[in-house]
Structure 1
Amino acid sequence: MARLCSLSEAIAENVKDGDTIAMEGFTHLIPYAAGHEVIRQGRKGLYLVRMTPDIIYDQLIGAGCARGMKFSWGGNPGVGSLHRFRDAVENQWPRPLEIEEHSHAAMANAYEAGAANLPFAMLRGYIGADLPKVNPNIRSVTCPFTGEVLAAVPAIRPDVSIIHAQRADRKGNVLIEGITGVQKEAVLAAKRSIVTVEEIVDELNPPSPNSTVLPSWAVTSVVHVPGGAFPSYAHGYYPRSNAFYIAWDKIARERETFQAWIEENVMKASPEDFAKHAEKQPVKAA
């Protein structure tokens, strides 16, 4: 059953050095506050998994937390490259980074296979693509019923998955609204999970079985972190900070400016700062 606790407690209890960790959230509800707490607690040797690694993984990589990453697209959305990610791959700074690239479809199916406790996922994909030539974890299986050859990839089974959501009740049941991506599957596939939320409420509204996307028994820790998805958006709470994504390109381009930003905005900051940032957004999401 989910335990309601502080963010520092949730990370300390659930994220260990060397873990395979997934932080999911597609376009919105990206768990930035939790990622910053991982950096503050000095976790090392993490193997990062995310369908679309963007700024939060750029920060974790640049801070020296990561040894590798499995992903299907990496970049600063609408802006350009992830400079800390690129520096790690090209120059091994601050440490070498192992990478394993897949398609979006393969990652989504691999999470689903993990959630179903299956060893691998199969899909119609990679036809005519070059990724199988460089990724030995993309293989093929033959359907025993039709003889069709299908692509196969290992199931994703993180040690811990972290997501952000709009609300949870006091029992730890979680509601996600808007674009859901693979958050549910990532949590169900993981050994442990952390859900940060905008609000803790007495009852999910409307009170129906469909209000609960993740039941309490499927979640390890629930944490109240208003603004915890900033600078991404939380549907119904605050919009995306496009200005921050644009600014990040300059911040992360050089090692010195990146390190100064991390020191000032992560190491000296706290989860409460996310609520202050989100409140400054000019328009509340519909």
Structure 2
Amino acid sequence: MAEFLSLHEAVSRYVADGATIAMEGFTHLIPFAAGHEVIRQNKRDLTLIRMTPDLIYDQLIGAGCASKLIFSWGGNPGVGSLHRLRDAVEHGWPRPLEILEHSHAAMACAFEAGASGLPLAVLRGYIGSDLPQVNDQIRFIECPFTGERLAAVPSIRPDTSIVHAQKADQHGNVLVEGIVGVQKEAVMAAKHAIVTVEEIVDELDTHPNACVIPGWVIDAVVEAPGGARPSYTHGYYGRSNRFYKDWDAIARDRDAFNTWLEDNVYADEGARA
């Protein structure tokens, strides 16, 4: 059952060194505040999972938090590469990074399989792709009913999933509105879940087809206004396109990146405690 905690306490309790961590949110609702708290607490040897790793994973990787990345497509949306990710893969700075790449469809299916308690996900995919040559987690099986050749990947079962959302009620139930990615599946697939929200309200006031993550699958709810910035939260604030553009120059240079971390992440220590 969901417990209301500070961001510092939630990360300290549910993100351990060496853990497998998923941070999801598609286009908006990206949990930047939680990611920054992981950096501030100097978590190490994490296996990071995300369908579309963008700036927050670039920051986590550049800060030395990650030893492995499981992903599908990685980049600065609309701008270019993730330079801290590339530096880790190509030059081992600040530490070597193992990568395991999937397709979007396979990642979504793997999260759904994990949420369902299944050991693997089966999909039509990877036909003609080179990914099976570099990812030994992609296998092919024969359908026992039709004989069709299908792709299979392991289900995703993170130690902890972290997502951001608009609202939580007093019982810890969480409302996700706007573009919905795999937040609900990621939470339900994980051993533990942290959800940061813009506000805690008395009632969610939802419509019948709303995406509600029930409080009984969440360990910690954290009130963190602005917790998705510089991405956006539908209904609350917009995306900072300028930051995404500025990030390209910051991330290209190791010294510039470290200065940015000191000024914008470590200097904020205790702000969300």
Assess same fold via TM > 0.5.
yes
Q: For 1:42-86, what per-residue CA distance to the aligned partner results, in whole angstroms no more than 9, with x for missing partners?
A: 100000000000000000000000000000000000000000000
Which residue of structure 2 aligns with residue 24 of structure 1?
24
Which residue of structure 1 aligns with residue 237 of structure 2?
238
Instruction: Measure how far apart 1:269 and its partner are.
Output: 1.0
Instruction: Measure how far apart 1:197 and its partner are.
Output: 0.2
Which residue of structure 2 aligns with residue 79 of structure 1?
79
Contact kept? 2:40, 2:269, Cα under 8 Å: no
Q: For 1:104-152, what per-residue CA distance to the aligned partner results, in whole angstroms no more than 9, with x for missing partners?
A: 0000000000000100001000011110111111001111110001000
- TM-score, normalising length from structure 2? 0.98
Which residue of structure 1 aligns with residue 246 of structure 2?
247
Which residue of structure 2 aligns with residue 142 of structure 1?
142
Task: Map residues 73-222 of structure 1 onto 2, 5 A cutoff.
Answer: 73-206=73-206, 210-211=209-210, 213-222=212-221
Matches of 1:231 and 1:39, distance apart in 2? 17
Which residue of structure 2 aligns with residue 66 of structure 1?
66
Instruction: Measure how far apart 1:91 and its partner are.
Output: 0.1
Matches of 2:46 and 2:208, distance apart in 1? 36
Matches of 1:128 and 1:241, distance apart in 2? 38
Matches of 2:143 and 2:210, distance apart in 1? 37
Contact kept? 2:177, 2:210, Cα under 8 Å: no
Matches of 2:208 and 2:105, distance apart in 1? 28
Task: Say whether 1:262 aligns with 2:256.
Answer: no
1:109 counterpart SS class: helix
Q: Which runs of 4+ in 1 moved over 4 A?
A: 208-212, 270-273
1:121 counterpart SS class: strand
Matches of 2:196 and 2:262, distance apart in 1? 23
Q: How many residues align?
A: 272
Which residue of structure 2 aligns with residue 282 of structure 1?
none
Contact kept? 1:225, 1:271, Cα under 8 Å: no
Instruction: Measure how far apart 1:20 and its partner are.
Output: 0.3
Aligned-residue Cα RMSD (Å) equals 1.2
Structure 1 residues 272, 227: CA separation in 2 closer, same or farther (over 3 Å shift)?
farther
Identity across aligned pairs (percent)?
69
Contact kept? 1:117, 1:189, Cα under 8 Å: yes
Matches of 2:2 and 2:223, distance apart in 1? 13
Instruction: Measure how far apart 1:34 and its partner are.
Output: 0.1
Which residue of structure 2 aligns with residue 7 of structure 1?
7
Matches of 1:183 and 1:212, distance apart in 2? 10
Q: For 1:11-31, what per-residue CA distance to the aligned partner results, in whole angstroms no more than 9, with x for missing partners?
A: 001000000000000000000
Whichever residue aligns with residue 230 of structure 2, its letter is P
Unaligned runs of 5+ in 2: none
1:213 counterpart SS class: strand
Matches of 2:62 and 2:220, distance apart in 1? 27
Unaligned runs of 5+ in 1: 274-286
Contact kept? 1:143, 1:149, Cα under 8 Å: yes
Matches of 2:56 and 2:16, distance apart in 1? 18
Matches of 2:246 and 2:208, distance apart in 1? 42
- TM-score, normalising length from structure 1? 0.93
Matches of 2:95 and 2:41, distance apart in 1? 18
Instruction: Measure how far apart 1:209 and its partner are.
Output: 6.3
